[in-house]
Structure 1
Amino acid sequence: MQRLKALTWDHPRGYNALAAAAARPELTESGLAIAWDRQPLEGFESHPIADLCDRYDLVVLDHPHVGEAVAGHCLQSLESVFGEEVLQALEAESIGPSLRSYRFAGVHWALPLDAATQVMAVRADLLERQVPLLWEDVAELSRSTGKVALSLAGPHAALSFLSIAAAFGEPPAESDPDLLVSKDTGRQVYDLMCDVAARSPPSVREKNPIGILGHMANHDDVVLCPLIYGYVNYAAPLEGNAIAFHNAPRRIAGGRPGSTLGGTGIGISRRCEVTPALKRHLLWLMGREAQVSFIPGHDGQPSRREAWHNAGVNARWGSFYENTADTLEQAYVRPRHDGYIAFQGKASALLRHAFEERAAADRVLDDLQALYASHRSAGGER
């Protein structure tokens, strides 16, 4: 019996489907046993990937860690495990940039288990108007109600900044990997965020996305969060009020819904012996049966496009998937060079302080660019 140690994140969306899949009789019959450990969300976002790969055979990670993983030589490429033909099929089946976000230095480093991006969360029972489509509508709702919350804790201030810049027509560091964002776009994004942040309800200012969504489900002081990582579990909760999820705001009608890709993938550490049984299990997790039925049925959030448009899946989960699929298809992919994770955390702290101080936009943008440059590896890929 091959016994593997695996690590995921401590939330029903991150754990339940993987644990249930590992308990399937077919796995034991194939001579494979996988024990899934859990770490808190904050550890998932910041813990050094090389350390985790030293201790685990399979590691659930998010795509901005791949540059760090490549630098640490701690993962096996998917090409070396599955071959090009399998990856081409997965690319065709995966929604948005779910698979290609794990491509770095010419190869892929994780299987796209779970797809997510920032979307709009709304307490539809409290919203006395149509769901906002544009950022100007969001700002007006903030001014008129004081019940619009920005997700700013942890890395999320920086992630929201990146998303709004993408909606405003300039995906950060995309046309020029050395420039985070131009002054013109940066000022518009900063001024908008500063304005909405000033009225963001104090009750959720220090909460991560799970905390904000949990608060929204059980309290009435937050009507809308315009950019927050979608968690399908809150669309049809066992307790509390249901939260409706919609596409992220756009700058103009018909424009791009600015959003920064999230989601998770399964990386295979170099310590792992890849057997035929393990390959079959991992590809089963990516396949139609698991992605359309098994994973949504165990609190997971699939990465297969077909699942996001499946009528049964949407009926069970309050149309979460079909209402946000457009945002995911167009989601912005962050830089992934070694050093990006550290930048993301420091940039968020810088922005939170700037919002509190109502600091001048140009100074904040200069500081952000300097911080970005200091954490960008020489010659590193996005």
Structure 2
Amino acid sequence: MTTSTTGTTTSTTAGAEATSARPATTTLRGITWEHPRGFDCQVAAAAAYERLTGVRVVWEQRSLQAFADAPLDDLTARYDLLVIDHPHVPLAAAHGLLAPLDGHGHDEALAALAGTSVGAGHASYAHGGHQYGLATDSAAQVAVRRPDLLADRPEGWDEVLDLAAEGRVLWPAKPIDAWSSLCTLAANRGTPVGATPGTFLDDEDAAPVLDLLHRLAERVPGWCLEANPIEVAEALSGGRPDADPRWAYAPLAYGYTNYGRPGFRPHRLRYEDIPAGPRGVAGSQLGGAGVAVSARASDPDAARAYALWVASPQVQAGVYYDAGGQPGYAPAWDDDRLNADSWDFFRGTRRTLEQAWVRPRTAGFIELQDTVSPWVTATLRGELDDATLLRRAGEAAARLLVPDETPEGGTT
């Protein structure tokens, strides 16, 4: 499908054709997360889509924390379209909460999107032979630097720790982000969390990961243990009133193109590949967001058509990006205009994204993540010792990281 950002059609695909004859009274409700990258882009895209098709999509937003851990059963009962985190897919599929996108006249378009996936982004929304979402937003833990304060990026972790000792490093380490960092560093060493069903990390494999996290936590400001990537980006870019002028770098933080764009904040940030570890820049925990259709959608066909449209290359590199979105597929990541506008965000982090680690595809993983995350930050604060963290996490993994027994559902 080719459209301009004003909604003028120059050619169509099955997604637009499926909706072109729909009455203007068709209204879908969508829920996404509270940030220009999550909300503004969908609102702008929906306005263009309504001009093109007559179908209205009304978007609402929830907090970043709710995006990470809010249950989907209530949301799928209230909304037609959902922007979700891919680890929710196995559990949602098992309980029939999401409608498969395949098998409804869009398989050719889905195959084309799969062929332009950035790393495992597209595949991370597939489960049990069905595609339950589209990777409209691709992200992983990457590094971020303020070039006017730090001319060259640290290549490895020894340089990062030296820089941190000078008071120049920030690191988002609230529970979900500290957990993400643990998972990234473990995967980078070739010993990912949950590599064997029912296990967390062996003590021997966990030791160097926890040692590095402790050393980093000791060298960053205390508020970092309560911070998320947005708060760190705000501090680095001058959006935080009490920012220390020494703060210049963060080694592990989910990337936001917004902070690389001119005029978004007082200072632009440059996002780059993570510091090299034993496996180079491989192993960063894959994040991002995807658009999915509720199994209880009021008009599943209309919802599927919108999802395919908003994931299309011209929309992703046009109205979606221009309104603050962070595209998920390779045509947008290769786009010269988008890279120039975002200070090479896409090319600068591509290696990390292409080699990112995908969390275990079991229904119990979300509960494991929610359970263990607070313990990781508590350990970094000195409230738990490493042995207690590993024992508790191992017990939780034995209960939750097991092959799914619930038959996979999903309305077809």
Give the TM-score, by structure 2 length: 0.85
Partner of 2:62: 39
Q: Which moved more, 1:267-276 or 1:158-167?
A: 267-276
Q: Is the 8 A contact 2:273 2:281 kept in 1?
A: no
| 1:282 Cα deviation from its structure 2 partner | 2.5
Identity %: 31
Tell me, in whole angstroms, the C-alpha distance in 1 between the residues paired with 2:271 and 2:46: 30
| 1:31 Cα deviation from its structure 2 partner | 3.7
| 1:151 Cα deviation from its structure 2 partner | 1.7
Tell me, in whole angstroms, the C-alpha distance in 2 between the residues paired with 1:352 and 1:380: 31
| 1:281 Cα deviation from its structure 2 partner | 3.1
What secondary structure, in the 3-state scheme, does the structure 2 residue paired with 1:374 have? helix
Q: Which moved more, 1:15-24 or 1:361-370?
A: 361-370
TM alignment of 1:188-337, pairs within 5 A = 188-218=208-238, 219=243, 220-236=245-261, 237-252=263-278, 255-274=280-299, 278-337=303-362
TM alignment of 1:25-64, pairs within 5 A = 27-28=50-51, 30-64=53-87
What secondary structure, in the 3-state scheme, does the structure 1 residue paired with 2:143 have? strand
Partner of 1:71: 94
| 1:312 Cα deviation from its structure 2 partner | 1.2
Partner of 2:43: 19
- Work out whether 1:338 is the aligned partner of 2:363: yes
Kindly provide the amino acid, as one letter, of the partner of residue 276 in structure 2.
R
Q: Deviations over 1:35-55 (max 9, x none)?
A: 111111111111110110000
Tell me, in whole angstroms, the C-alpha distance in 2 between the residues paired with 1:216 and 1:226: 12
Kindly provide the amino acid, as one letter, of the partner of residue 74 in structure 1.
L
- Work out whether 1:140 is the aligned partner of 2:162: yes
Partner of 2:191: 170
Give the TM-score, by structure 1 length: 0.92
Kindly provide the amino acid, as one letter, of the partner of residue 381 in structure 2.
E
Kindly provide the amino acid, as one letter, of the partner of residue 33 in structure 2.
W
1:160 is matched with which residue: 169, 181, 184? 181
| 1:123 Cα deviation from its structure 2 partner | 1.9
Decide whether aligned partners of structure 1 residues 7 and 136 sit closer, same or farther in structure 2, where only a CA change above 3 A counts. Answer: same
Gap runs ≥5 in structure 1: none
Give aligned pairs, total: 376
Gap runs ≥5 in structure 2: 1-24, 407-412
Tell me, in whole angstroms, the C-alpha distance in 1 between the residues paired with 2:224 and 2:246: 10
1:94 is matched with which residue: 117, 124, 140? 117
Tell me, in whole angstroms, the C-alpha distance in 1 between the residues paired with 2:294 and 2:34: 20
Q: Deviations over 1:1-47 (max 9, x none)?
A: 211111111110001121111112x5355341111111111111111
Kindly provide the amino acid, as one letter, of the partner of residue 208 in structure 1.
N
- Work out whether 1:10 is the aligned partner of 2:34: yes
Tell me, in whole angstroms, the C-alpha distance in 1 between the residues paired with 2:283 and 2:250: 14
Decide whether aligned partners of structure 1 residues 227 and 82 sit closer, same or farther in structure 2, where only a CA change above 3 A counts. Answer: farther
Q: What is the aligned-residue RMSD (CA, Å)? A: 2.1
| 1:139 Cα deviation from its structure 2 partner | 2.1
| 1:205 Cα deviation from its structure 2 partner | 2.6
1:187 is matched with which residue: 183, 189, 207? 207
What secondary structure, in the 3-state scheme, does the structure 1 residue paired with 2:103 have? helix
Q: Is the 8 A contact 2:281 2:351 kept in 1?
A: no
Q: Is the 8 A contact 1:142 1:199 kept in 2?
A: yes
Tell me, in whole angstroms, the C-alpha distance in 2 between the residues paired with 1:339 and 1:150: 28
Q: Deviations over 1:70-106 (max 9, x none)?
A: 2331110122335543322211012111110112223
